[in-house]
């Protein structure tokens, strides 16, 4: 690194590492993605886990002994329902309560339809699996009794069942969980943008706003050196944030019950490394682009407004990829952000791509960086930028 570039770089690093609040903010932001994934993933997994005991609180157990025996035989754990069960269900502390009315026995013996009620809150996602299992058991019992009754009367049970509907549900919670993992590259790409956002805003727009740009340009250091030093600092922050996020993801994924929900994804050491190689070069292009845009802004706040819009840039291709994996074509790797998302996705799926797509993605980001940096440098020789203060 040439001397003056290093001087500018060191100063910006020192300056911004002292900005405790924004360093902390970007660390916390970096952890949000992985932790969100952990929580949602674990929740989904816990709802769908089949080996969980089905607890059925019942009111009026004594009215339907044979139904109770059937439920118990099929793995349900029966217990007394608490008195305030309705409020408990509404609060989400209880999934369901089965209510057997007093006249159940009379209706049942007489061969009428006997009513039982299942008290549930259908808006609760977390109770959905339990309620479904309970309902299936009750319907099973009903079906069994109906069949017995028909046979007792000499009627073939099939007559009473003209159609048998079987569910073949393709949209399972497992797929939702897998979708969550597809968000990992998206989170990483967003960090490559947000990680350097503070530095990019402060080193260009902030410098203009404070009135320190003019004194800075009075040094014999060339504008190119100044821009490069600032860019390297921005890139460092962006890369560090991205790596923190990737590290936390690596830790989090180990805690995820991936097998429980039947997701196959590679998150071993080499995969994490490849992921870093895939995503990090985005910081080159992103940081340079942010500095360019930031130079147009007269104030730190103005720059932040522009730059938070710029963060949308990677989310578009990123979200597209995470929602519906597309077939990667060679040219796509050369598109910054799109290339990163595709590469990271392929790494996660365990595909081996060879070094060429990675190189293409790195080169394209460096090219983007060079264009943006050249433009930034040109802006710094314009009088309206140097002297134009708000």
Residue in this structure with the two tokens 């009367």, named with its chain if needed = 153
Of 221, 334, 335, 375, the one binding another protein (CB under 8 A) is 221
Q: Does 22 bind another protein (CB under 8 A)?
A: no
Q: What residues contact residue 223 under an 8 Å CB cut-off, 6+ apart?
A: 217, 377, 380, 381
Closest contact distance (angstroms) between CB of 232 and another protein is 16
Closest contact distance (angstroms) between CB of 302 and another protein is 16
Q: Does 218 bind another protein (CB under 8 A)?
A: yes
Q: What character string, x for contact with another protein (CB under 8 A) and - otherwise, covers 344-383?
A: ---------------------------------------x
Q: Does 19 bind another protein (CB under 8 A)?
A: yes
Count of residues that bind another protein according to CB under 8 A: 29
Q: Does 49 bind another protein (CB under 8 A)?
A: no
Which residue pairs from 266-270 have beta carbons closer than 8 angstroms and sit at least 24 positions apart in sequence?
266/347, 266/348, 266/349, 266/350, 267/348
Query: In 173-323, which residue ranges form alpha helices assigned H by DSSP?
Result: 173-194, 197-200, 207-210, 213-217, 223-255, 269-279, 282-296, 300-310, 312-323
Q: Does 78 bind another protein (CB under 8 A)?
A: no
Of 1, 2, 14, 148, the one binding another protein (CB under 8 A) is 14
Q: Does 222 bind another protein (CB under 8 A)?
A: yes
Of 111, 154, 162, 220, the one binding another protein (CB under 8 A) is 220
Stretch that binds another protein, among 14-22, 140-148, 275-283, 334-342 (CB under 8 A): 14-22
Q: Does 7 bind another protein (CB under 8 A)?
A: yes
Q: Does 302 bind another protein (CB under 8 A)?
A: no
Tell me whether strands 117-120 and 76-80 are parallel, antiparallel or unpaired: unpaired
Backbone phi, psi, residue 327, to 5°: -75, 120
CA-CA distance, 110 to 32, in Å (whole number)? 60
Q: What residues contact residue 233 under an 8 Å CB cut-off, 6+ apart?
A: 8, 9, 12, 13, 16, 199, 203
- Contact residues toward another protein (CB under 8 A) are 3-4, 7-8, 11, 14-16, 18-19, 207, 209-222, 383, 386-387, 389
């Amino acid at each position: 690194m040439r001397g003056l570039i290093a001087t500018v770089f060191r100063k910006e690093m020192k300056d911004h590492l002292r900005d405790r609040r924004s360093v902390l903010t970007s660390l916390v932001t970096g952890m949000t993605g992985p932790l969100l994934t952990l929580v949602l993933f674990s929740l989904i997994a816990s709802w769908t886990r089949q080996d969980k005991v089905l607890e059925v609180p019942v009111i009026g157990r004594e009215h339907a002994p044979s139904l109770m025996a059937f439920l118990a035989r099929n793995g349900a754990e029966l217990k007394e329902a608490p008195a305030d069960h309705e409020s408990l269900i509404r609060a989400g502390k209880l999934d369901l309560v089965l209510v057997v009315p007093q006249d159940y026995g009379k209706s049942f013996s007489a061969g009428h339809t006997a009513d039982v009620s299942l008290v549930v809150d259908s808006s609760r996602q977390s109770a959905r699996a339990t309620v479904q299992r309970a309902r299936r058991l009750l319907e099973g019992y009903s079906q069994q009794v109906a069949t017995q009754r028909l046979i007792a009367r000499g009627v073939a049970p099939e007559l009473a069942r003209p159609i048998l509907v079987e569910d073949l549900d393709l949209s399972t919670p497992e797929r939702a969980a897998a979708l969550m993992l597809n968000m990992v590259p998206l989170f990483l790409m967003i960090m490559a943008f947000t990680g350097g956002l503070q530095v990019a805003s402060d080193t260009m727009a902030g410098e203009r706003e404070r009135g320190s740009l003019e004194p800075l340009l009075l040094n014999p250091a060339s504008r190119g050196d100044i821009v490069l030093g600032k860019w390297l600092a921005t890139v460092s922050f962006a890369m560090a944030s991205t790596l923190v996020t990737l590290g936390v993801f690596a830790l989090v994924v180990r805690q995820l019950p991936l097998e429980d929900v039947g997701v196959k994804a590679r998150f071993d050491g080499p995969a994490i490394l490849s992921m870093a190689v895939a995503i990090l070069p985005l910081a080159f292009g992103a940081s340079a682009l942010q500095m360019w845009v930031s130079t147009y802004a007269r104030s730190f706040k103005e720059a932040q407004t522009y730059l938070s819009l710029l963060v949308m840039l990677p989310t578009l291709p990123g979200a597209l990829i995470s929602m519906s994996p597309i077939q990667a074509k060679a040219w796509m790797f050369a598109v910054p952000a799109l290339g990163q998302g595709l590469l990271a996705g392929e790494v996660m799926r365990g595909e081996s791509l060879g070094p060429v797509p990675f190189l293409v993605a790195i080169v394209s980001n460096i090219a983007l960086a060079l264009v943006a940096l050249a433009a930034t440098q040109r802006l710094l020789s314009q009088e309206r930028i140097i002297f134009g203060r708000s």
